[in-house]
């Protein structure tokens, strides 16, 4: 197995993963550690990208270059800015190391790694059935959208992981829930941080804090619940399970899952590994060539996570058709979409070019 390079032990920690894969649970657990502070989901990288390319402004593509800053220098400026914002938060919590948990930062790993060269990435992966049922019930996502998102996001995770040797680790939600102590001890050791039993008592630690209801409608005071691993089997109908088989099975196998069996969990680590739960970028790199049935071609980023360059994107009204079934989306699902009104100020595609 390839050796892992030395890891940074002072930089920020970014928790990423598909929505519904346990990223909030991991944030709450790490935030219970005396030395870490991970705030509720910020999504700040979309704002950071907006600094590099002013959204929908043709002349804003290279604005900082025109001020005499190189891209690397601009990254340093952004790092300084975000460091101040997050470090003060960490200090206010009595912590010395800050982190952020935003699921869609999956799509921003290259920029995060550039702006924060000492950052570590911790990725949560969960059975596609569990993730699909979770986003379906919590965010009203349609099943095809949820399955497609799981495949795209978890392909991206594997591709990015191998590009960041020594800085990227992965934990499966099921491993964390079934054996939290082993999983978290391995994680802390990988991070170069001391173990604390508070990690196993995150629900007690957060019970003393406000608010109790945090992002994704998660209760911060709920202990780890093993039953959640197989809960999805009673939530997804036959059609949804067939979709899992046709769309997600090869990648699920790569991550050690069986799309038909919630309790099947094969190890991602070689037999001689000292670790039992925590998967590193070297482990992922080793597994990739063994899974030739997975489509490893890079997946394009969703539009919202790209630089909002008017040559590539235009801004439209949200008609709710993307996957969520709330508001306008319900009308769309019912076949009675509201007719979009033409925008009188900025006519539709392509974006009206202004001087």
Query: Which residues contact other proteins by CB under 8 A?
Result: 39-44, 46-47, 50-51, 54-57, 59-60, 63-64, 66-69, 77, 80-81, 84-86, 88-89, 92, 152, 299-304, 306, 308, 310-318, 322, 327, 343-347, 349-355
Which CB, 114 or 273, lies closer to other proteins? 114
In the complex, the smallest distance separating the C-beta of residue 156 from other proteins, rounded to whole angstroms, is 10
Q: Are 33 and 98 in contact (CB under 8 A)?
A: no
Per the CB < 8 A criterion, the answer to whether 2 and 289 are in contact is: no
| Residue 53 to residues 65, 208, 222, Cα–Cα distance (Å) | 11, 42, 41
- What's the closest the beta carbon of residue 101 comes to other proteins, in angstroms? 12
Nearer to other proteins, 212 or 317 (CB): 317
Residue 261 token pair:
């069996």
Q: Which is nearer to other proteins, 335 or 355 (CB)?
A: 355
Instruction: Tell me which residue has tokens 């392509």.
Output: 350
Q: How far is the CB of 336 from other proteins (least distance, A)?
A: 19
Give the C-alpha separation, 185 to 119, whole Å. 19
Instruction: Tell me whether residue 250 or residue 302 sits nearer to other proteins (CB atom).
Output: 302
Question: Which residues, including other chains, have CB under 8 Å from residue 326's CB and lie 6 or more apart?
Answer: 140, 320
Phi, psi of 171 (to 5 degrees): -125, 135
We find the least distance from the C-beta atom of residue 313 to other proteins, in angstroms, to be: 4
For residue 352, give the DSSP letter: P
* Least gap, CB of 104 to other proteins (angstroms): 9
Give me the residue label for tokens 């009204």. Answer: 317
Q: Is 5 helix (H, G, I), strand (E, B) or coil?
A: coil
Could you tell me the smallest distance in angstroms from the CB atom of residue 193 to other proteins?
21
Q: What's the distance, CA 214 to chain centroid?
A: 16
Nearest residue (CB) to other proteins, 68 versus 197: 68
Closer Cβ to other proteins, 185 or 322, answer by number: 322
Asked if 324 contacts 141 with a C-beta cutoff of 8 angstroms, the reply is: yes
């Amino acid at each position: 197995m390839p050796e892992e390079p030395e890891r940074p032990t002072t930089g920020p920690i970014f928790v990423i993963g598909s929505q519904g894969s346990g990223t909030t649970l991991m944030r709450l657990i790490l935030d219970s550690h005396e030395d870490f502070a991970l705030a509720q989901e910020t999504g700040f990288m979309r704002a950071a990208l907006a600094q590099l390319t002013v959204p929908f402004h043709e002349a804003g593509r290279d604005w900082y270059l025109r001020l005499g800053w190189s891209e690397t220098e601009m990254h340093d400026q952004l790092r300084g800015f975000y460091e101040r914002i997050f470090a003060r938060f960490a200090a206010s919590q009595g912590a010395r190391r800050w982190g952020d948990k935003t699921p869609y930062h999956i799509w921003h790993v290259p920029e995060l790694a550039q702006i924060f060269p000492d950052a570590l990435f911790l990725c949560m992966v969960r059975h596609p059935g569990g993730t699909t049922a979770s986003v379906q019930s919590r965010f009203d996502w349609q099943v095809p959208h949820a399955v497609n998102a799981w495949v795209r996001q978890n392909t991206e995770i594997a591709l990015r992981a191998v590009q960041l040797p020594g800085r990227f680790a992965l934990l499966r939600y099921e491993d964390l829930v079934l054996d939290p102590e082993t999983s978290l001890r391995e994680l802390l050791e990988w991070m170069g941080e001391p173990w604390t039993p508070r990690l196993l008592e995150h629900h007690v630690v957060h019970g003393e804090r406000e608010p109790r209801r945090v992002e994704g409608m998660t209760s911060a005071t709920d202990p780890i619940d093993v039953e959640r691993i197989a809960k999805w089997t009673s939530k997804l109908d036959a059609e949804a399970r067939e979709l899992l088989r046709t769309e997600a099975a090869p990648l699920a196998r790569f991550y050690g899952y069986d799309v038909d069996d919630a309790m099947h969990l094969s190890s991602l680590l070689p037999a001689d590994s000292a670790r039992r739960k925590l998967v590193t970028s070297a482990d992922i790199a080793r597994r990739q060539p063994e899974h030739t049935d997975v489509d490893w071609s890079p997946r394009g980023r969703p539009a919202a996570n790209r630089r909002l360059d008017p040559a590539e994107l235009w801004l439209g009204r949200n008609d709710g058709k993307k996957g969520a079934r709330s508001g306008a989306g319900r009308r769309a699902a019912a076949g009675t979409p509201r007719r979009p009104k033409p925008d009188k100020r900025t006519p539709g595609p392509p974006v009206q070019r202004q001087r």
